[in-house]
Structure 1
Amino acid sequence: MAEFVRSLIKERTRAGLDTAKAQGRIGGRPSAVNEYVLTVARARKAKGESVSAIAKALGVSRATLYRHLGGDS
């Protein structure tokens, strides 16, 4: 009986997620880096500023900045 109830919950959850996706909604935490922050970070990096200083000034972690800068860093 428990397995059946679990399968019903699973089906309803999947249907809800699919419906939300069809309406253009996405789940998860919003990104800390938008296009503006990325543009500023690239410009500051081009001027020779350290990634640590840029991250501190923009309020993001170094790891996040490295992830978004990719090969630019």
Structure 2
Amino acid sequence: MDILLWLVPPLVVTFGAMLWVTWLGRARRGEVDRDVAVRRLGHALEKDLPRADPVVRLRERSTGIAVRPTRDAS
């Protein structure tokens, strides 16, 4: 049980660092105006998607057993 108590300080520091980094990441995040967001979404939805080229399927390799031709014993 005493060995497990050694894990408490690193766990507290790790959890504190996770909370701190999460808070820092949210602090830089700015609010986007709703009208601007709707305009951007509308613009993105109006774009035509690029057409994909048809996929050329290659002939599948045989998965059977390879058989060597017999040698002529002359």
Fold match by TM threshold 0.5: no
Q: TM-score if structure 1 supplies the norm length?
A: 0.33
Higher-Rg member (1/2): 2
Is the helix fraction higher in 1 or 2?
A: 1
Relative contact order, higher structure (CA 8 A, sep 6+): 1
